[in-house]
Chain A
Amino acid sequence: MKELIRVENLKKHFPLKRSLIEAITRIPPRLVKAVDGVSFTIKNGETLGLVGESGSGKTTTGRLILRLIEPTNGRILFEDKEITSLKNEALRKMRKDMQIIFQDPMAALNPYMKIGEAVRHPLKIHGIGSSKKEQLDTVYNMLEKVNLTPPRNFYNRYPKELSGGQRQRVVIARALITNPRFVVADEALAMLDVSVRSQLLQLLLDLKNEFNLTYLFITHDLATTKYICDRIIVMYLGKIVEIGSFDDIYRSPAHPYTKALISAVPEPDPKIQKSKKKLIPQGEVPNPINPPSGCRFHPRCPYSIKNLCSVEEPVMKEISDNHFVACHLFD
């Protein structure tokens, strides 16, 4: 498979507001290192899962790739073409190929815009379709693809008239109307109920096959990655701790943090649940303003090695074919 996206040493540091005294005395602002040097690739046609808890930097990474926020450092390549410094018109043109599905459809849709108009909007922006009629046909077609049928009926409705699942279908339709190559799904299913979530997961899978899409699937929910992700990246406090195929991560997780994440997923089967040994680390994700030295997970890690993990930052190592981990246990 050819690679579609390449990310090299990507960083995003958000400066914190300074107090007046700090500003006068020219103390440099403190930084939240939301994403602190991540590198990975996404192959054409694959679904890459990006998992982690809140504050791990997964959403920031997704937005950086789409250039919705400016990186502090690093490079982003789309089909071997550097897009890190694209501006204005060139950037806008590129957006046709790269789209995003947001978590909360009620916030992502204009409440005063008919949903059909919302889906047609990207066509207008990118000047796709020679006439209004042609654009309308494209929209009807897309609404049908996301199962909002009959499309002519749905076209004139407003977001508040739809259920949560239907609204998210609108957001998906709007993301796919420009026929993009790459779609970032940022917690796209997190707000939906279980029965609806599986419906939309199936829809995302069907659309991926039909339009030959590449997904970056950002989620905090490890269980849903099983159905859609080919490979998974696990992030912790702005760093990648492990990259592997779905099977690597699920069956033989290497990093202690990945192990903890997997064992923390609540198990509905009472028998498995009772026999399951849980490896729950103490405490919570530390403050990213002042992250721990060395390996960022070391204060919570049960296997932490004295005088090593707290001092030296582990580097990414390949422990088996295409299974990478950043942990001193594998030195």
Chain B
Amino acid sequence: MRSEKVIEIKNLRISYLTRRGPVSAVDNVSFSIMKEETLGLVGESGCGKTSIGNSILKILPKNSSIEGKILFEEKNLVELGEKEMQKIRGLKISMIFQDPMTSLNPIMKLRDHFVETIKTHKPEISEDKAEEMAEEAFKAVGIEPSRLKDYPFQLSGGMRQRAMIALALVLNPKFVIADEPTTSLDVIVQAQILELLKNLKEKYKMSIMLITHDLGVVAEMADRIGVMYAGNLVEEGLSEKIYYEPKHPYTEALLKSIPNTKPEDKKLIYIPGNLPDLINPPTGCRFSPRCPKAMKICFEEEPPIFEVDGSKVKCWLYKGAEIVENERVNQS
């Protein structure tokens, strides 16, 4: 891992305007991803992890508004126009989606997906050369290049996901966002795809932001993990630190509630209550209504981010530790 930052996100806020009022989906999130690093972004549905991924490529729906900074190659993507974004999407930053069936065009041959992507960004490349690149990409993900003549529906689920990965990597982007890349796959195919992603990352020296709800998947891939809850990044640190020494009560509870693979450990632990309504998020810490360790201050004031033992934690339990970031200071 190099110390050079590939992307830096600063005080990102995303909200969606709905009939019931604005939904604060991502609230003041800051983090960065280093060169050749895999950052796992984990959380349950509605925690804002996909919104963050989509905001980087600026593919959020129309009813959204976004504040803060997304710095990539010394540019703030938040302020960039659509024309300039098109030069980045697919070429420098690309995305692997959850469901390849809905992200590939069903009436376009796979070959044409590749030719279109390559020609859009590099019009100087001839069609033959583009096809050659597509064949290389297919070989790299373990599909027969002859399958380029097929339509997406002619491939099995696992192969479609491989084709998607090939398409995302064909122009050798330096940053890839993988949004639940294995969620719709069966467990054995999932293991195959994770293995493939790990190998490709080594080969192409890219940085990955892996968005998933599955802590097992994250542990297989990520160097660092960011845990999100209800729009907040509640904890961020090295994978081992997060797993063995979780600091935030939510991280701790989440880790306990996932089934491990030890057959003798059959105790069922869960987090009581439900996810909060983000139109009216709880005051103070957003996890406070479900937190077993909540104190008076947790219900009143939003915690800043403390640096504890190398990890960053947004929790009042660590009051007194060094503050990495205070919302009010940063906002001025």
Q: Which residues of A contact B (CB under 8 A)?
A: 53-54, 163-166, 193-199, 201-202, 205, 220-224, 226-227, 246-247, 250-251, 260-270, 272-273, 278, 280-282, 284-285
Residue of B whose beta carbon sits closest to that of A224: B259
Using Cβ atoms and an 8 Å threshold, which residues of chain B touch A268? Answer: 215-216, 218-219, 243, 255, 258, 260
Which of B157, B216, B253 counts the most chain A CB atoms within 10 A? B216
Q: How far is the CA of A109 from the CA of B30 in the complex (A)?
A: 40
Q: For window 83-133 of chain B, which residues contact chain A by CB distance below 8 Å?
A: none
Whether B270 pairs with A199 at a CB distance below 8 angstroms is: yes
- Chain B interface residue number, banded: 35 or more
Interface of A is mostly: helix
Which of B214, B218, B219 counts the most chain A CB atoms within 10 A? B219
Q: B282: shortest Cβ distance to chain A, in Å?
A: 15
Whether B270 pairs with A202 at a CB distance below 8 angstroms is: yes
Using Cβ atoms and an 8 Å threshold, which residues of chain B touch A265? Answer: 187, 216, 261
Interface-forming stretch among B31-39, B191-199, B312-320? B191-199
- B263 at the binding interface (Cβ < 8 Å): yes
Q: Given that A193-B45, A227-B266 are known contacts, is A270 also in contact with B219, CB under 8 Å in the complex?
A: yes
| Smallest CB-CB A-B distances: 4 pairs | A266-B216, A198-B270, A223-B259, A193-B44
Using Cβ atoms and an 8 Å threshold, which residues of chain B touch A195? Answer: 44, 253-254, 257, 270-271
Whether A266 pairs with B259 at a CB distance below 8 angstroms is: no
Using Cβ atoms and an 8 Å threshold, which residues of chain A touch B187? Answer: 53, 220-222, 261, 264-265
Q: Which residues of B contact A (CB under 8 A)?
A: 44-45, 156-159, 186-192, 194-195, 213-220, 239-240, 243-244, 253-255, 257-261, 263, 266, 268-272, 274-275
Whether B259 pairs with A53 at a CB distance below 8 angstroms is: no
Q: List 6 A-B contacts (CB under 8 A).
A: A54-B186, A205-B268, A264-B188, A267-B219, A268-B260, A278-B195
Q: How far is the CA of A250 from the CA of B262 in the complex (A)?
A: 9
Residue of B whose beta carbon sits closest to that of A280: B191
Using Cβ atoms and an 8 Å threshold, which residues of chain B touch A262? Answer: 261
Q: How far is the CA of A266 from the CA of B268 in the complex (A)?
A: 19
Whether A198 pairs with B219 at a CB distance below 8 angstroms is: no
Using Cβ atoms and an 8 Å threshold, which residues of chain B touch A282? Answer: 192
Using Cβ atoms and an 8 Å threshold, which residues of chain A touch B261? Answer: 223, 262, 265, 267, 272
Whether B269 pairs with A278 at a CB distance below 8 angstroms is: no
Using Cβ atoms and an 8 Å threshold, which residues of chain A touch B263? Answer: 226, 246-247, 250-251
Using Cβ atoms and an 8 Å threshold, which residues of chain A touch B243? Answer: 268-270
Q: How far is the CA of A247 from the CA of B266 in the complex (A)?
A: 12
Q: How far is the CA of A314 from the CA of B279 in the complex (A)?
A: 58
Whether A194 pairs with B258 at a CB distance below 8 angstroms is: yes
Which of A193, A246, A251 counts the most chain B CB atoms within 10 A? A193
